Structure 1
């Protein structure tokens, strides 16, 4: 018998191994950006075409590479950061296993240009399917440029599993934001199909957070900082009023590396336990500095899941730190601006205010104009008009026992029904009308019992089917705003709106781009209350991002579900009888009236015979 086990060719083995590291364009973006940071760059450019499917290029002004290093860096497990196994537990850089460039070269066409400051010329290398096609000298600036073209060109099956450009672009932006957030002292730019989406100047961490997540966070950030011999925790958390109903603005960094940790996230949530509803998520950007000996970052190919040698200590420390910071933010707020140096040199600041100057000021007419006797709000003690205010209050205030107000005329009471038949008819009419329970449920009478309807879930189902029909048939009517509203968004949200713009317009939103990250809202769907345009669109974006993360649906389905959930009648809204009846009629006219788009029951029925059993009437 012949032997059946054999070694795989290097190019096939590399393609299989690359699947652990490079899963989509965003994976390559992460690895290339981290390599640029490790190279000591201060300015990093990310250039994309077709959400990275056609091109991912990273240009940096870092240290560059020699000709030998440029050739060797594409070999698997080639690294400059590990010499022995002990080095693995003292790593503070981002990339260290030597897998990134080798994985990229296995599944894409790669071009490298690099030069060190001490070299007269640089090195140019072309690699395709892990094989070097060309190597020659090139004139290049100090630093490195790596271009990854036609991702998965040699693995068509994997390329077919890539999502739409909008979906892949969201993943790319997420990775870009995580690296840019980690290093606010570096300049980052992101250009997609010739349009610049991000231009992040060097600055403080707070400036970086605001420039990425939006200016509306500028006054809603609370500084967090605690230093100990074991670990340091610093960064910012959001005030409770900045919390959102969906996740997205939560960032943990350990030694400047973005991580995911449900355990530490729970520590943050418990710190907010008495300040937020259970379905709200606060903003936080927290950096944890700890000795690498206490952390294992090599447990996952993407290095986003790590292990601590003592998670309980870290949990308690983060929880206590955030509680302390939140307790202080409204007690001793700080002014967040730099004083103009010119102001500090004025004589009013540098010279004391002498007694002679005080007397001269208080004797002037300007001072007397603003003295107590001349203030507009001053009320003299003997003001006769308000002398008997207490008596007036006692006349208007109700008595504790609920009797008539003294001094107030009594209202005529309604005439009582004249007979038993009139009383019975009135009660029957009231009994058949729908009734709202705790501004959450609607109780509707039927012949065999009654329905209990969840008003939010029911309206969500109604809107979902309405929006779905509008996408399939004709566009929804738009309610034009009397005064167009300008909407400023974070760069990531602006990119998402641009991708969704055609479908949003078909669903009744009249939006137009108005400069970078700004849109003009000229109209909204007719069923959205006027004056609520900004909240409607921002809520829609949050719901869309949440549904994209939780469910694998196509873009239109996600958009329709997000709009339905965002615009549905909220819990706590008071409805009159006509509104409740219309809701019931529209619900049971739906194709699938019994469940919401998210799978929750819209109503529960109670039959009379079931009620009889509950009250044990059958036993009598």
Structure 2
């Protein structure tokens, strides 16, 4: 019987192994940048064409390689970092497995130019599908230049699974930022299609954070620094106002290696628990220095998932360090009281407490009874009769005339309320009977909806009543409106009197560029202005007026949230984001007409019962259910 098990050819084995390491152009960017850092470079250039599908090139001024090393580096498991099993637990470099270049060479066409410091001649190596096509001496600068061309040219099926250029470019920018953030003492640049996106000078960690995330963070960072015998933690966290609805600006580095850890992220979230909303995520860039013996980084091909020998200790230390920094810089939760202007205008508040008034107060019997020892329980008999007489007169007058009571009643909106009046005023009523009349009128008029806790709308129907979530309902209404706009008629634009300039991080600018045609259909008038800047000339006419820049930034946050949570196309993500961003929020007071409009438009939708994300928009209560609950049938 013939044998059926054979060894795979090297090029096929390399392609299979490459599938674990090189999943997209961004994977190659990460490996090549880390190799440049390990080579001791102080200046690193990343050049991209066609979102990395045509070219990914990294040029560094590091130590370079000899002729033999230039050839050996493309062999699988060829590495200068590990010589014995003990070295595996003392790793301080970014790479160590010797798989990156072999994997890149297996799925692309590679050109390498390198010259070792102190030598006059460099080496040129050309590799195609793991086979060396050319190796010869060449003239080149000290350091290494490696170019990966035509990714997955020999695996067309895998190339077809790559996303759009904008999506792939976003992943490349993410990997670039993670490496550049970890090494602020190095100079980095990123050029895409001959346009420079980043040029990061050498500097401090704070300067690097501000250069990458934006100048508006310069005054909104809180320093974190704690040192122990076991580990050190340093970096920055954002003040509460920098918290966003997405996780974008969150970075953990262990021994300068970017990692993903939901466990450690939870520690930071707990430190911010009482300062930011529960659905928001704080900004942080935190570095953890720990002995490599306490860390296992060899648990995932990308090395972004690691394990600690004592995770509970790490959790407690990070949470404590962040809390201590927030307290040290007085970043604590504050209470915001809206004072009544009528109260602020009173003499007791607005006018100074004169010396004469102070003397009168301190000489009064009441003041003395509380300031003299053992006198708090005493009553001055000489003045008690005269003082108490006024209280008795007030009590008797109130008892004799019930109408003198001041009663606060809830305001029930009428149908003729101004639809633009979004504020609720509370006025004293002369008698309690007025309250009964208002509620009785509302009960008789079944068409008047009632707002409950400024979040739900209660509306009576023939079989009972329904309770509508105002935010979810409006989100469904807007979602279907935007859906029709993309299919039929564009939404009109309200032009801004003073156009605003919007400066975005490169990753967000890439998202906006990708969505520009759809945004214009949905009513946004945006124009690229170069260098990740856009001019906002108008917004959809049917949304609330306000800060155009804040509106678009919020839209971007919602879009990134849906991109992470949903596996739907870009247009679907966009209209869901716009619906969520522009929907009436919980806590907004609505007039009767506004509530009725929401009810009418909701039930005119094709799917009125759920919001785009699947949340129920309303719950119905039948009279039979109410009778059963109140046991009316017994």
Q: Where on the TM-score scale, by shorter chain, does this alignment land: which range?
A: 0.7 to 0.9
Matches within 5 A, 1:175-324: 175-324=175-324
Distance in 2 (CA, whole Å) between partners of 1:209 and 1:431 is: 58
Query: What secondary structure is seen at the aligned counterpart in 2 of 1:114?
Result: strand
Using the TM superposition, give the Cα deviation of residue 456 of structure 1 relative to its aligned residue in structure 2, in angstroms: 1.1
* Partner in structure 1 of residue 62 of structure 2: 62
What corresponds to 1:511 in structure 2? 526
Q: Contact conserved, 1:481 with 1:530, CA < 8 A, in 2?
A: no
Q: Is the 8 A contact 1:55 1:150 kept in 2?
A: yes
Alpha-carbon shift at residue 41 of structure 1 (Å) = 0.8
Superposition deviation, residue 427 in structure 1: 3.7
1:146-173 Cα distance to aligned partner (Å, 9 max, x none): 1111111111111111111111111111
Counterpart residue number, 1:369: none
Do the aligned partners of 1:57 and 1:146 also contact (CA within 8 Å) in 2?
Answer: yes
TM-score (norm 1): 0.86
Instruction: Kindly report which structure 2 residues correspond to 1:151-190, keeping only aligned pairs within 5 A, or say none.
Output: 151-190=151-190
**Residues 500-520 of structure 1: per-residue CA shift (max 9 Å, x gap):** 222211211111122312211
Q: Does 1:533 align with 2:548?
A: yes
Aligned-partner Cα distance in 1 for 2:71–2:46: 23
Check whether the contact 1:115–1:143 (CA below 8 A) recurs between aligned residues.
yes
Is contact 2:187-2:200 (8 Å) kept? yes
Q: What are the superposed Cα offsets for residues 285-343 of structure 1, whole Å, 9 maximum, x if unpaired?
A: 000000000000000001000000001111111111111000011389xxxxxxxxxxx
Give structure 1 stretches of 5+ with no counterpart.
Answer: 333-376, 388-398
2:513 corresponds to which of 488, 493, 498: 498
- Counterpart pick for 2:483 among 461, 468, 472: 468
Residue 415 (structure 1) shift: 12
Which shifted more, 570-579 or 543-552? Answer: 543-552
Q: Which residue pairs with 2:587 in the alignment? A: 572
What are the Cα deviations for residues 225-257 of structure 1, in whole angstroms up to 9, with x where unaligned?
011111000000111121112211111000000
SS at match of 2:236: strand
CA RMSD between the two structures: 2.6
Which sits farther off after the overlay, 428-437 or 473-482? 428-437
CA shift for structure 1 position 602? 1.0
Answer whether contact 2:406 2:428 (CA < 8 A) is retained.
no
Question: Would you say the 8 A contact 1:79–1:98 is kept in 2?
Answer: yes
CA distance in 1, matches of 2:309, 2:53: 39
Alpha-carbon distance in 2 for matches of 1:427, 1:75: 82
CA distance in structure 2 between the aligned counterparts of 1:140 and 1:189, rounded to whole angstroms: 20
Determine if the alignment matches structure 1 residue 521 to structure 2 residue 536: yes
Residue 596 (structure 1) shift: 1.1
Q: How does 1:141-156 map to 2 (within 5 A)?
A: 141-156=141-156
Query: Using the alignment, how far apart are the partners of 1:582 and 1:432 within structure 2?
Result: 12
Is 1:448 aligned to 2:463, yes or no? yes
Contact 2:30–2:175 (Cα < 8 Å) also in 1: yes
Alignment match of 1:547 (pick from 552, 562, 566): 562
Q: Which residue of 1 aligns with 2:92?
A: 92
Paired position in structure 2 for 1:366:
none
Residue 46 of structure 1: how far off its partner (Å): 0.8
Q: Distance in 1 between matches of 2:438 and 2:355?
A: 58
CA displacement 1:46-68 (0-9 Å, x = unmatched): 11111111111111111111111
> Is this contact kept in 2: 1:260–1:304, CA < 8 A?
yes
With the length of structure 2 as denominator, give the TM-score of the two structures. 0.84
Contact 2:610 2:616 survives alignment (8 Å):
yes
Number of aligned residue pairs: 556
The residue aligned with 1:607 is 622
Q: For each residue in 1:107-159, what CA deviation from the matched residue of structure 2 results, as whole angstroms up to 9, or x when unmatched? A: 11111111112121211111111001111122111111111111111111111
Does residue 590 of the first structure (1) align with residue 605 of the second (2)? yes
